[in-house]
Amino acid sequence: MEEQRKGGKEYSSAEGLTLTLGYLEDPSNIECPSCGFDTIEVVGFVNADSLHSGAPEVTSPDREYAVILYCHGCRRGAALHLDYGAQTDREAA
């Protein structure tokens, strides 16, 4: 745990899934798998394709996007690539 608090360690796949499910359930109250609630910040939304190319472009959280999360506790970040296609029944965060 101390290594995580110093930063530099990536979230595991299981932790990434936990973050994703937490974001989908309530984007305003995401639990860090290591630090708990009240440490995760939604930093912004970027075009998912631009994230892969290394030149992120800011976008709105609809259809296909990546949400950028940062935990102030363990100082780790995550980019969750989400694609809602043509769904119209989900409100943006």
53 vs 57, which has greater pLDDT?
57
Find the helix or strand (DSSP H, E) in which 24 lies: helix 13-25
Q: Quick one: what percent of the chain has pLDDT higher than 90? A: 57
Q: What is the pTM of this model?
A: 0.76
Compute the average pLDDT of residues 15-40.
95
Where would I find the beta strands (DSSP E) of 1-93?
40-46, 64-71, 77-83
Nearest to 29 by CA among 21, 75, 45: 21
